[in-house]
């Protein structure tokens, strides 16, 4: 046994009442009641106490009970010196009771001190106290030596077993507390992740929609300042209104996604390319439902890639390919190239960086770059 084991206190969880079942608490209180009854019976039976002796004996029993209660409190607080002082006072009370002729109460106190010391004190302090208490019991007890030895050994074993049981209960309580803390941390982490997801969806939708609206509104303002043709100005305003309408629709889709009310991914891609006669969608593999985060990643990347294709290569043919693999889903958006549009320098929403960040958050990857005269974006997300 290591030095730490000799000097280590039983944990506060082991010494306290937390985790103790109701039947065990009732058994403990029943045992204390029996011990108190034995003390009172041993003091007040036999006709040896009369007059003021009754008051003195009652005070002695009350003092023993108070010392025992204080011992339990100081050991719970892991205060070694007060605990040793209190148990020594209890041993002195037993000696006084033996000297006054109350042998049974003295034996009960010695036995209780021996068991309680082993159960509640560090072993380095408990063994001397238990040895003194049980040696006193063995000296005064008038049973056969074999019976006395068996009783003494049984009391020491009972004290150590109670200590092991209390430490096991305390360990279980600590593990339960750690599990509760882990669950609380997991719930907090899930809440933070959900907040981040909501923030990401809001950013992706609003930043994409509002930036496009700003481009058209800024162009309308410049046209007004230059006294441009009314039709040109109206065209820009109508385009901004269309962007606002699309943004509202995308916001509703994002809210539906946050509620778990996603439309099938294939239908979304079909609706996304529906207004573009130069785009087509191809789906391969076994179609199945995807996790919400993976589905949203595919939707956002498809949306951004198509928007960039219309902006940077208007009129180009765009191929959208969705492949359901066994362990991942792959989205490939490729355009055939074309003449740069007038919105080429206007910025691209959250752009390639945002798409790549979204993919990496899910453990996937995103590749984007020129390919066969056009531009290709390939997203791979594990599912």
The pLDDT confidence band at residue 243, using thresholds 50, 70 and 90, is confident
Higher pLDDT, 216 or 118: 118
Q: Could you count the other beta carbons within 10 Å of the beta carbon of residue 12?
A: 15
Q: What is the pTM assigned to this prediction? A: 0.48
**Residue 100 — very low, low, confident or very high, per pLDDT cuts 50/70/90?**
confident
Residue 86 scores a pLDDT above 80: yes
Both tokens assigned to 329: 């889903």
Confidence grade of residue 322 (pLDDT, cut at 50, 70, 90): very high
Please tell me the least confidently modeled range out of 11-25, 57-71, 93-107, 310-324: 11-25
Read off the pLDDT of residues 342-364 as tens digits, 9 standing for 90 and up.
444 444 444 677 778 778 888 89
For the chain, give the percent of residues with pLDDT over 90. 7
Q: Is the confidence at residue 244, as pLDDT, over 60?
A: yes
Cβ pair 276, 318 in contact under 8 A: yes
Q: Report the residue count for the chain.
A: 383
Terminal-residue alpha carbon distance, the chain = 52
What domains, with CATH codes, occur in the chain? 3-142 (no CATH), 265-383 (3.30.565.10)
> Confidence class of residue 379 from pLDDT cuts 50, 70 and 90?
very high
Residue 113 CA to residue 104 CA, distance in Å, equals: 14
In this predicted structure, what is the pLDDT of residue 343? Answer: 40
Question: 44-48, 126-130, 156-160 — which is least confidently predicted?
Answer: 44-48
> Which residue's entry shows tokens 């007038």?
342
Q: Which residues lie below 8 Å from residue 102, measured CB to CB, with a gap of 6+?
A: 42, 43, 57
Q: Which percentage of the chain shows pLDDT scores above 70?
A: 79
- Would you state the pLDDT for residue 47? 46
Decide: residue 144, CB within 10 A, 0-12 exposed, 13-18 middle, 19+ buried.
exposed
Q: How far apart are CA 97 and CA 311, in angstroms?
A: 101
pLDDT digits (tens, 9 = 90+) for 284-302: 988 888 887 788 888 888 8
- In this predicted structure, the answer to whether residue 85 has a pLDDT above a threshold of 90 is yes
pLDDT band at 44 (very low <50, low <70, confident <90, very high): low
Neighbouring residues of 187: CB distance < 8 A, sequence distance ≥ 6: none
Residue 345: its pLDDT value, please? 43
Report d(CA 313, CA 330) in Å as an integer: 23
Give residue 234's pLDDT band: very low, low, confident or very high (50, 70, 90).
Answer: confident
CA count, 13 A, side-chain hemisphere, 103: 8
Write down the pLDDT at residue 348.
42
Report the range out of 13-17, 108-112, 308-312 with the highest average pLDDT: 108-112
pLDDT for the residue numbered 295: 84
Q: Check if the beta carbon of residue 98 is closer than 8 Å to that of residue 140.
A: yes
Q: What is the 3-state secondary structure (H, E, C) of the chain?
A: CCHHHHHCCCCHHHHCCCCCCHHHHHHHHHHHHHHHHHHHHHHHCCCCCCCHHHHHHHHHHHHHHHHHHHHHHHHHCCCHHHHHHHHHHHHHHHHHHHHCCCHHHHHHHHHHHHHHHHHHCCHHHHHHHHHHHHHHHHHHCCCCHHHHHHHHHHHHHHHHHHHHHHHHHHHHHHHHHHHHHHHHHHHHHHHHHHHHHHHHHHHHHHHHHHHHHHHHHHHHHHHHHCCCCHHHHHHHHHHHHHHHHHHHHHHHHHHHHHCCCCCCHHHHHHHHHCCCCCEEEEEEECCCCCCHHHHHHHHHHHHHHHHHHHHHCCCCCEEEEEEECCCEEEEEEEECCCCCCCCHHHCCCCHHHHHHHHHHHCCCEEEEEEECCEEEEEEEEEC
What is the rounded distance in angstroms from the CA atom of residue 100 to the CA atom of residue 109?
Answer: 14
pLDDT at 82: 92
pLDDT of residue 330: 93
Confidence (pLDDT) at 260: 62
* Residue 179: band (very low, low, confident or very high) from pLDDT cuts 50, 70, 90: confident
β-bridge partners, 283 = 322
């Amino acid at each position: 046994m290591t030095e730490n084991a000799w000097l280590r206190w039983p944990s506060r969880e082991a010494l306290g009442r937390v985790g103790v079942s109701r039947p065990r608490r009732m058994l403990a209180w029943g045992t204390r009641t029996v011990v108190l009854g034995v003390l009172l019976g041993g003091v007040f039976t036999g006709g040896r106490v009369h007059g003021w002796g009754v008051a003195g004996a009652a005070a002695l029993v009350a003092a023993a009970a108070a010392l025992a209660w204080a011992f339990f409190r100081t050991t719970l607080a892991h205060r070694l010196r007060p605990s040793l002082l209190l148990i020594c006072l209890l041993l002195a009370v037993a000696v006084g009771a033996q000297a006054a002729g109350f042998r049974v109460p003295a034996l009960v106190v010695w036995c209780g001190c021996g068991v309680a010391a082993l159960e509640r004190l560090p072993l380095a302090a408990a063994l001397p106290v238990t040895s003194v208490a049980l040696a006193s019991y063995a000296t005064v007890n008038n049973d056969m030596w074999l019976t006395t030895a068996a009783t003494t050994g049984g009391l020491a074993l009972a004290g150590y077993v109670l200590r092991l049981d209390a430490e096991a209960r305390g360990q279980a309580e600590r593990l339960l507390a750690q599990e509760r803390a882990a669950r609380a941390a997991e719930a907090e982490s899930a809440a933070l992740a959900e907040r981040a997801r909501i923030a990401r969806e809001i950013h992706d939708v609003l930043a994409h929609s509002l930036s496009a609206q700003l481009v058209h509104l800024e162009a309308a303002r410049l046209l007004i300042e230059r006294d441009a043709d009314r039709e040109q100005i109206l065209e820009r305003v109508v385009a901004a209104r269309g962007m606002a309408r699309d943004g509202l629709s995308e916001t509703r889709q994002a809210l539906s996604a946050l509620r778990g009310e996603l439309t099938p991914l294939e239908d979304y891609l079909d609706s996304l390319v529906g207004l573009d006669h130069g785009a087509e969608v191809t789906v391969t593999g076994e179609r199945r439902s995807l996790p919400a985060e993976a589905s949203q990643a595919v939707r956002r990347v498809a949306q951004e890639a198509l928007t960039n294709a219309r902006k940077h290569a208007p009129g180009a043919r765009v191929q959208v390919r969705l492949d359901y693999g066994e362990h991942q889903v792959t989205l490939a958006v490729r355009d055939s190239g074309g003449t740069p549009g007038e919105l080429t320098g206007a910025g691209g929403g959250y752009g390639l960086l945002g798409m790549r960040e979204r993919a990496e958050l899910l453990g996937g990857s995103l590749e984007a770059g020129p390919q066969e005269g056009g531009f290709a974006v390939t997203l791979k997300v594990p599912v």
